[in-house]
Amino acid sequence: MDPLLFQFLTGVTLGLPTSLHCVAMCGGIMGALGVSAPASARKTGRFYALHTGIINMGRITTYALAGSIAGLGGLGAVSALEQSTGYLLLRVLAGMTLMFV
């Protein structure tokens, strides 16, 4: 099998089941925000799509900023240590995250 195709199929296989997490975590929030749109917006498909799109772009931007801030904080903390110590610390933190989340 072509390695590129294998990587793609692996990504799809792992991505589809994890979409249930997205539906469970954000489905209720998006449903509530969709219902909170003005009645005039819900009647017009174009305005409703714009309303929902703006909410989603804000959510995605917030996640990206939070991830960037966490990444920069981690980079600063780990770069202050020796490389082997930093990698060991990251492995321990990743393992603890997997155990407790």
Spatial distance between the Cα atoms of 49 and 35, rounded to a whole number of angstroms = 13
pTM: 0.56
Q: Regarding predicted confidence, which is higher, 91 or 38?
A: 91
pLDDT in tens, 57-87: 998 999 999 999 988 988 887 788 887 888 8
Spatial separation of the C-alpha atoms in residues 42 and 48, rounded to whole Å: 5
**Mean predicted lDDT score pLDDT of the chain:** 84
Cα distance between residue 2 and residue 72, in whole Å:
36
Place of tokens 């390695």: 3
DSSP 2: -
**What is the C-alpha separation between 84 and 78, in angstroms, rounded?**
10
Condensed to tens digits (0 to 9), the pLDDT of residues 38-52 reads 777 777 777 878 888
